Structure formats: C-alpha cells, structure tokens
Amino acid sequence: MRLDKYLADMGLGTRSELKKAIRGGVAQINGVVEKDPGASVSSEDHILWYGEPVAYESSVYYMLNKPAGTVSATEDRVHKTVIDLIYEYEESTDNAHVTVRKDLFPVGRLDIDTEGLLIITNDGDLAHRLLSPKHHVNKMYFARLDNPVTQEDVELFANGFKVDEELTAMPSKLEILKDSHCGAFAVIRLCCYFVAYFGLCGSVRFTPRAGLCWTLALVLERALSGFAVAAFPLAKDTGLAHTFATAADKQTVCRFLCGLSALLILALTALGGGGLAAAALLALWRYYFVAKKQFGGITGDLAGWFLQRAELWMLAALAVSQWGGVL
C-alpha cells in the first residue's frame, strides 16, 4: 500500500494534502524520515505522523447518542446528518491532523425526531449482521405517549398488525413502563388531595363511635383491595399485584374477603356508618372502571391509588354523617 493512501485511509487528510505534507518530511517509516508519498508500507510497519504513531485500522466504529433534529444519512441538503456530528466531534478533539474518514455510514436509521444509540462505521459486514432479518438483532425503543396504552395494545403488538394497505408490522413485544416523572397537574392534584384530607380531618369529631366506624372502614377498604387483586383482571404479568394474585388461591381468597367485607358493612351500618361503606364500594367500582378501561387491568400502583381515594371518600362520608346527625 502507498504511504499516502495508508494515511488517507486513517482519515489524516486528502491525498493531495498528504503528499504535500509527506514531501515536507513529517512522516517516518520504522524510524526513517520518508518523503516519497508512493513509498510502500504495510500494517506491520511503524508509521509516525508529526511524531505520533499511526496504526492502520481497516474499520472504525462510533457509538453515537443521536439527538433529535438530525437525520440518519451520510448527507442532506436541509438537515444536519449524523455524519456531520462525527465531524464536529473530531474537530472538538483539537487534533488538527485528524479528519473523518469518507466511507462512514450509519447502521440502520432513527427518525429525525427520535433520540438514541446509532452505530456509525465503515464495516459493511457488521452492518449486515445487525440489519439482516436472518440474524434478527432485537431493537428496543422507549416512547412517552399522551394517552395510556392497555393490555389490548400489548396483545396487538404480540400478534402483529396492519399499519396500512402496504405495511404490516411484524410481531413484537410491547411493555408498559411506570412513569417516573411527576408533571405539574400531578403535583396540583397531590396538593389538592392533602388539602382535602387534612381539611376533612379537621372537620371530623373523633368520638368513640366515630373512631370505631373509621377503624372498621379502614379494614373494609383493605379487604376490598385484596378482593380486587384476586378477582379483577391484571394489566401485566409482573409486579406485586401479579405475584400476589398468582400465589394465592383466588377462589378461596375471594370467598373469605367477600364474607369479611359483608360483615364489616353490616357492622358499619348498625353503628350508623353506612355512608362509609357506601363510599368504599363506590371507590371500588370506580377503581374497576378506570383500571379496565385505561390500563387493561389493575396493577400494584392502581391498588395504592384505590386505597388513597377510598380513604378520602370515606373520610368525607364520615364528616357528612356527623353533619347530618347520623353519627
């Protein structure tokens, strides 16, 4: 291989630039200054360029965290490309003698608005192994949606579906993740919850009978929560709710908790706390409706949501019962 081609393959400049620099005596082969651009070299020779060793690499690899707004292409007249980002990266290294190789390309593509890992290389064999359906390399995407997905969507992805008349999506796995972010509306609702909860606590007179009713109501809501886990459909096959539901004898659990709930409702009614029992049952109905419609079933997080809502509604019922003279 010619010396100028060797250096050009390493991205050190164009052939014309390299020939001029070589004739200026900045290249060495095995400790000897070489001014002939056509001098024969191999990967076993020790090459110095401006005093720095240059090892021959037939393939190069970049792992790029592609930002939104760039296109997965080698060139584009309108948008910045992922190759442009590689150029910017190499220029930021302050190595004036390094230029980006001209044969780089992205392995696969991400849409212009999509962020994530993209491999940039000149290794065609690697690209084939990663992209060929025969090798089936899995790809993972994370998406944040405006509307919740349900268990029906999970099953739809698992079976594959027709996107339009020309495109059919192959079977894939859809996993519903927890949202780790707390938005402004969630903060507002949380603040409203605490204001309402402490406001109701301040308006309730906790007499012995009211205290007994409240204790029975708390036991009732937890019995109803356990019943829901055993009887209601599950949104996913992981998590605490799924672990409890699969480990327990559902029929036995449902019978026991139904009987316990019935006794608690009768006791509350006899004490004048029928409104608390009604509030708990109403919260259970709302729990079932929201979980099934919006999530395809219940989860451990939704079970916690039910307990908090039921507790707030029962506290409101307790306050109303006292205002009405029932308790």
Cβ-based neighbour number of residue 36 at 10 Å? 14
Annotation marks residue 249 as catalytic: no
Phi-psi region of 18 (alpha: psi -120 to 50; beta: other; left: phi over 0): alpha
Gap between the Cα atoms of 164 and 97, Å rounded: 51
**What is the full DSSP assignment across 130-178?**
HH-TTT----------SS---HHHHHHHHH-EE-SSS-EEPP----PPP
Work out whether strand 161-162 and strand 52-53 pair parallel, antiparallel, or are unpaired. unpaired
Catalytic residue among 111, 179, 237, 249: 111
Q: Running DSSP on this structure, what letter comes out for residue 324?
A: T
* Residue 33: count of CB within 10 angstroms of its CB: 11
User: Residue 90 burial by CB count (10 A; 0-12/13-18/19+): exposed, middle or buried?
Assistant: middle
HSE value, Cβ hemisphere, 13 Å, CA-based, for 186: 6
Annotated active-site positions, please? 111
